[in-house]
Amino acid sequence: MNLTSGLVGAEVTGSIGWLIWDNQSKMNALSPGMYEDAQEVIDTFMATDAIKVVVMRGAGRRAFISGADISSFTKTRSNPEAAAAAREAPIKLRRTLIDMDKPLIAMIYGYCLGGGMGMALNADMRFAASDSQFSVPAAHRGIAYAPEGLKQLVDLVGPSAAKDIMFSARRLKAEEALRIGLINRIVDAEDLEKETIAYAEVLASNAPLSMKASKYFINQLGLEEAHRDNARMDAMQRAAEKSDDFKEATQSFMEKRKPVFTGR
């Protein structure tokens, strides 16, 4: 990988690939170059068969991502042309994270604000420390939040809760975030990494074709019927039925042993 910003890291532990937002002097705020490096990391993970699950996190425990690096706005949002160019990399990364066919978990310590919360919404699941906080302060910044990101928020928490979050720009503590469906799990900060790894390892041991199909189907069900790729969904079902993994699942059940899946 050719990572140039110095603000994004990548690690692999067993079957888990880690995307690390590492801008700790600014509580992991999203700065120029970070989106491109994250794209490089995810592209590499996607091309690596041995990686079954991806976890993204912020470096340290103060923040997942505290938002955008406001100090960079004079350059990246100085005029409409610059703003349009600056949006290209985030839009590409967002689409990659949503469409990737491996499970993606956001492991959240501390502040998850603004663009950080938007980044977390791109994950399939969000596990958060008990002291984490969430907000989208667009109403404090004079920003009209992008419709694509708002749809993700509405899909998770519903229109009324989404309006509360956007209108008030207030910070939600972990308990409220869990109650409204913004996150999936609260874990004590000391145990968060251990529990996230344990869950990721469960996923890594499951049938890749099955999880790939489930993720794609669920995403497709969020679309209007006319926009769904029913032919691809049918093909994925047929491929799973004919796979070696399906045979292995049946054989291991008969032999009363744990299946060993290969993704084929």
Residue type, 137: P
Distance from first CA to last CA of the chain, Å, rounded? 27
Q: What is the pLDDT at residue 211? A: 96
pLDDT digits (tens, 9 = 90+) for 156-190: 999 999 999 999 999 999 999 999 999 999 999 99
**Given a cut of 70, is residue 72 above it in pLDDT?**
no
3-state DSSP assignment of residue 133: strand
Q: Which DSSP state fits 63?
A: E
What is the value of pTM for the model shown? 0.92
pLDDT at 111 over 90: yes
- Comparing 179 with 141, the larger pLDDT belongs to 179
Are 206 and 200 in contact by the 8 Å Cβ rule? The answer is no
Report the number of secondary-structure helices (H) and strands (E) in the chain. 12, 10
Q: Which residues contact 229 (CB under 8 A, 6 or more apart)?
A: 220
Handedness of CA 165, 107, 97, 11 (dihedral sign): positive
Main-chain phi, psi angles of 135, to 5 degrees: -165, 160
Radius of gyration over every alpha carbon of the chain, rounded to an integer in angstroms: 19
pLDDT of residue 165: 97
Q: What percentage of the chain exceeds 70 in pLDDT?
A: 94
Give the residue among 219, 8, 209 at the shortest CA–CA distance from 102.
209
Average pLDDT of the segment spanning 229-254: 93
Assess whether pLDDT exceeds 80 at residue 76: no
For 23-56, how does the pLDDT look when each residue is reduced to its tens digit (9 = 90+)? 999 999 999 899 999 999 999 999 999 999 999 9
